[in-house]
Structure 1
Amino acid sequence: MVRSIITRRRLLGSLGAAAGSASALASGAFIGPARAQSVQKTYVLVPGAYYGAWSWHRVTERLQKQGHRVFALTLTGLAERSHLLNKDITLDTHIADIANLVEWEDLTDICLVAHSYGGCPASGALERIGGRVSSIVWVDAIKPADGQAFRDLVPFPIEEGAISRPAPKAIPPTSFNDPKDVAWVLSKVTPHPIGTFLQPVKLTGAREKVAKKTYIRLPKFQAAAMDKAAAECKADSSWTVLENTTSGHSVMIVEPDWLTDVLTKAA
């Protein structure tokens, strides 16, 4: 498997060259742009904390225009499913959200894409649906080990009796380039069920058995958990590691064209 660390300025050229080289074709790391647009693929998109399927709308539209099947999830208790928020929602609930979608829609040959917190339930879901997944893309996502909870990797204080973490009321200026995006995101984020942050994930290695694995690091977003995940992937030749140095954490909103291009080549 080809492994690379690429800045945004070099990314498109580097991926194109890799797709044209015999070694990249033999490894199956990426496919050429013409084939990427002619072969229908199936994407399952998992949002990060406080987000819902709405956060993927720009990428969803672009992938669908290329003829791909796209299933963007909203996890239980968030966004349009925020009315379901309750104290009993755990990581297992969000794992079931992903796995049940895949199983009830009878999806196969999937590219599973996870953003941020979404790396936790997506990792757990692979224990159920790993045989249906042909590629994964972790977008600045948590990469937990067996027995780790989100809070182990991203510590935060817990308010006694709380069933959720409050939605952000402000966004760092480096996160978005357009003030309209800031206002839009702040109008959409909802409290996140706290139990999903606290429950350890049970893993037996299904994530690592996926044939094609890509990790995208967005270093403008400073987070030790993402630095750790990217470093682990760089040390593992079965992962392809990409860097985008111009986007904030929500690259699907800030640079949807860039991410769409990456996804069509990484699937």
Structure 2
Amino acid sequence: MTTFVLVHGAWQGGWCWKRVSALLRKAGHDVFTPTLTGLGERSHLLNDRIDLETHIQDVLGVLRCEELSDIVLCGHSYGGMVITGVADKVPQAISSLVYLDALVPEDGQSVLDLLPSDDASSFKESARTKGQGFRVAPSPAEVFGVNAEDQAWVDRRNVDHPLKTFEQPIRLNGLWKQVPGCLYIYATGWSPGIGKPFFDRAELDIDWQAMTLSCGHYVMIDMPKELTQVLIRST
């Protein structure tokens, strides 16, 4: 039995892992899908003080209170920032890291540093004009290549995201690189996508594994069975 901690991306909540977590539990594994502060069912807590460190502490709190160790820690999209910060603080608790079409930061980088400049500008503009200066509205699920049957479901659940989590540079000591296993999963079925530079880097790194899945950005929704198999093999 393996313990999985699955961290969602921007605008989402723990709900997005519903299909994958059910399959993992059916296979006999323990699964935790924390919702980050201000998102999902915790959207009523959204405020202008929430930053990246808040979300890193959210996940660290789950590890501490549930007394978890030897975990597979998976982060989707923005969640790659969060799991990197977590792993840098408690590398001894993690057996492997899985970056699911996710950002992989270096010390001092922010989400806005890692995204195309047009996206970074649109997030700041969204917050300025429609989000009280701190809320970034979600893009339609169609933009992320979500399959047609699930687009309405995703759009109903996605909520505004705190801008500071995109602006705050991550502070790393490099301890996250001590985690013995790192896997990058690149979703190739949406454009322009964010994963290719990180996938290319992972392919050239002997300490990483890299693979692709032919679906949109929300892999856990488009290909839950395939993703579950990949996660189990990553242990």
TM-score by length of 1: 0.81
Structure 2, gaps ≥5 residues long: none
- Partner SS for 2:145: coil
Paired position in structure 2 for 1:265: 233
Provide the C-alpha distance between the structure 2 equivalents of 1:83 and 1:67, rounded to a whole number of angstroms: 33
C-alpha distance after superposition, 1:39-77 (max 9, x if no partner): x10000000111110100000000001110000011000
Of structures 1 and 2, the larger Rg is shown by 1
Aligned to 2:200: 231
**Which 4+ runs in 1 deviate beyond 3 A?**
222-225
| Residues 175 and 221 in structure 1, CA contact (< 8 A), matched pair in contact too | yes
Q: 1:224 to 1:57 in 2, by over 3 A?
A: closer
- CA contact 2:39–2:161 (8 Å) conserved in 1: yes
Q: Kindly provide the amino acid, as one letter, of the partner of residue 207 in structure 2.
A: S
After TM superposition, give the deviation of residue 206 of structure 1 in Å.
2.2
Q: CA deviation at 1:207?
A: 2.3
How far apart in 1 are the matches of 2:61 and 2:53? 12
- One-letter code of the match for 1:261? Q
Distance in structure 1 (CA, Å) of the matches to 2:45 and 2:190: 30
Shift in Å, 1:251: 1.0
> What CA distance in whole angstroms lies between the structure 1 residues aligned with 2:190 and 2:171?
27
Contact 1:102 1:129 in 2 (8 A): no
Q: 1:189 to 1:147 in 2, by over 3 A?
A: same
CA distance in 2, matches of 1:252, 1:59: 6
After the TM superposition, which of the residue ranges 207-216 and 110-119 deviates more from structure 2? Answer: 207-216
What's 2:71 paired with?
A: 110
Query: TM-score under structure 2 normalisation?
Result: 0.92
SS at match of 1:61: helix
Relative contact order: is structure 1 or structure 2 higher (C-alpha 8 Å, sep ≥ 6)?
1
**Which 5+ residue runs of structure 1 have no aligned equivalent?**
1-39
Opposite residue 166 of structure 1, the aligned amino acid is: A
Shift of 1:89: 0.3
* Paired residues, number: 225
Residue 99 of structure 1 and its aligned partner are, at CA, apart by 0.8
Q: Match for residue 27 of structure 1?
A: none
Instruction: Please state if 1:80 is matched with 2:35.
Output: no
For residues 146-165 of structure 1, what are the structure 2 equivalents within 5 Å?
A: 146-154=107-115, 155=117, 156-157=120-121, 158-159=124-125, 160=128, 162-165=133-136
| Identity value in percent | 39
Task: Quote the residue 1:201 is aligned against.
Answer: 170
Q: Using the TM superposition, name which of 222-231 and 253-262 deviates more.
A: 222-231
1:167 pairs, out of 138, 143, 147, with 138
Tell me the amino acid that sits aligned with residue 256 of structure 1.
P
Q: CA deviation at 1:170?
A: 5.1
CA RMSD of aligned residues (A): 1.4
One-letter amino acid of the counterpart of residue 50, structure 1: W
